[in-house]
Amino acid sequence: MANRYQPISHSMYIDLGGPMKFGLLGRTLGHSFSPRIHSALGNTNYELFEREPSQLQEFFADPELQGINITIPYKVNALEACDVVDPRAERIGCVNTMVRKDGKWHGYNTDYDGFVFTLQHAGIDVAGKECIILGDGASSATVHVALEDLGAKNIVHLSRKTAPFYGDAPNYYETAQIIINCTPIGMYPHNPANLIDITQFSKLEGVVDLIYNPRRTILLLQAEMMEIPHCDGLPFLVAQGVEAANHFQGQSFGTKEIEQILRDMRREKENIILIGMPGVGKTTVGKALGEEMGRTCIDVDQELEKEIGDISTYITEQGEPAFREKEAEMIAKLGTQTGLIISTGGGCVTVPKNFAHLRQNGRIYQLTQPVENLSTSGRVLSSGGIERLRELEATRTPMYESFAQCIVEHNRNAPETVAAILEDFETNLL
């Protein structure tokens, strides 16, 4: 499998045209990235098909259908509907890609390819390792077979239904080396949430979460904190989609296409978060970034004022703790969204839970400049002049640095600061 994903030299996409239909089959699809992936590969005839179980027989009989991807809960139904099943898909026990050839449905499991690519993308080697899979659904079956083929030493499934259960995780604190989440726990809109605390695992070497919204679940934020190789589910989704496109279009798309689509989607979805001292210029830089990138810029303080009125007045009357709770609620709401520029209040870093809400879909930039240059106009928490600002700086600087992935010196030159942020943003998309 390692040699399957190599850059290819051509980029010739075939013209599908005609009445042929392609798409994704599921029960409740909502917003799916699959049409975007297939459109990028030249297939614009890709639709979303929401169907109830009673409609499946009629759906599979549609003569215009040429290729289908299948998601929850129909991957086993898809296998049963196929006339010919690829041996690997049969071994896994489910199908997520169907192609009509000579009037017959052929079934494949391209999730396998997606998972193998994800491990390679993250630099995670499972050979000879003890691996824990969270969940017992179709995706976990696919992951299990792939881990076997890649030489994993011991594969343990934790689930709610059968032993060992999620509560048995402590039994593996001293032995587990790889953890893969195949459950929807922590997925939007129920984020942040997690099944187990991975910080207790002493030999952990790699973490994969097949969830891609948010980009960073609690599981992955913990792995990031532990400096362990980790990956979300977007590379999995894109790679399996590209492999499905090979079946649909008779092409040989590979790593080159996967990484280009992945980079484009990361660029579009990843938030840019600005933090820093009050008066450092976050709002100004945020607006300039929004104009440069064609993005919506949201100022947390301005959004809060729509709800609670003047912030200084609110803090004076209700107290800072009450304000911080309102601020945290707003950050939690904004943090679930994607593709934004978010300018935060200077004190948001004093509430630790704000980090997960901001980082889950964004890269956090701390803006700095000398305290003497900071504006204190209209800021009740900055009143007291330069000495008060120095006290705030001494207290908050370690907090800012613990939140930020990048620190940018802002010298009241917005174009220069924007250029520095964008250069870092592009470099760290993948």
pLDDT at 1 over 70: no
Domain ranges in the chain?
Answer: 21-112+239-266, 124-228, 270-427
**What's residue 387's pLDDT?**
80
Model pLDDT, residue 191: 82
pLDDT at 389 (0 to 100): 84
Q: Which CATH class is domain 124-228?
A: alpha beta
Res 374: pLDDT: 81
* pLDDT: which is higher, 385 or 235: 235
Q: What is the pLDDT of residues 368-389, one digit of tens each?
A: 999 888 866 655 455 567 788 8
Q: Is the CB of residue 166 less than 8 Å from the CB of residue 160?
A: yes
| Backbone φ, ψ for residue 213 (5° rounding) | -135, 105
pLDDT surpassing 80 at residue 2: no
Question: Which one from 75, 101, 256, 306 is the annotated catalytic residue?
Answer: 75
Binding residues: 279-284, 301, 324, 346, 379, 396, 412
pLDDT tens track for 168-208: 999 999 999 999 999 999 998 888 889 999 999 999 999 99
Query: What is the structure's pLDDT at 30?
Result: 80
User: Is residue 10 scored above 50 in pLDDT?
Assistant: no
% of the chain with per-residue pLDDT over 90: 85
Average pLDDT over residues 36-42: 96
Reported as a single tens digit per residue, the pLDDT across 113-166 is 999 999 999 999 999 999 999 999 889 999 999 999 999 999 999 999 999 999
Using the predicted structure, report yes or no on whether residue 98 has a pLDDT greater than 60: yes
pLDDT tens for 396-420 read 999 999 999 999 999 889 999 999 9
Distance CA 112, CA 129 (A): 19
CA distance to 29, 42, 113, 117, 358, per residue, from 10 (Å):
33, 14, 21, 20, 39
Query: Does the pLDDT of residue 422 top 70, yes or no?
Result: yes
Res. 45: pLDDT tops 70? yes
H-state helical runs in 250-337: 255-269, 282-293, 300-308, 311-318, 320-335
Contact 298, 343 (CB under 8 A): yes
Question: Is 94 within 8 Å of 76 (Cβ atoms)?
Answer: yes
- Average pLDDT value over all residues in the chain: 92
Structure tokens at 169: 């995780």
The reported pLDDT for the residue numbered 417 is 98
Q: Is the pLDDT at 263 greater than 60, yes or no?
A: yes
This prediction's pTM: 0.90
User: What is the C-alpha separation between 226 and 179, in angstroms, rounded?
Assistant: 14
- Residue 63's pLDDT is 93
75 is catalytic: yes
Neighbours of 227 (CB within 10 A): 7
Q: What is the pLDDT averaged over residues 79-87? A: 97
The answer to whether residues 75 and 138 touch, using CB atoms and an 8 Å cutoff, is: yes
Q: Which residue positions form the known binding site for substrate? A: 301, 324, 346, 396
Among 152, 242, 215, 183, smallest CA distance to 363 is for 215
What pLDDT shows up at residue 31?
78
> Given this model, what pLDDT does residue 383 score?
59
Asked if residue 12 has pLDDT above 50, the reply is no
Q: Is the pLDDT at 67 greater than 90, yes or no?
A: yes
Q: Give the single-character DSSP code of 428.
A: T
Homologous superfamily of 270-427? P-loop containing nucleotide triphosphate hydrolases (3.40.50.300)
Count Cβ atoms below 10 Å from residue 17 Cβ, excluding itself. 8
Say yes or no: do domains 21-112+239-266 and 270-427 share a fold: yes
Look at the domain 21-112+239-266 and name its fold: Rossmann fold (3.40.50)
Annotated binding-site positions for ATP:
279-284, 379, 412
Tokens 């949201």 belong to 298
Q: Which residues make up each annotated binding site for Mg(2+)?
A: 283
Per the structure block, which two tokens stand in for 322?
Answer: 């009450």
| Residue 328: CA count within 13 A, CB half-sphere | 14
Q: Is the pLDDT of residue 307 over 80?
A: yes
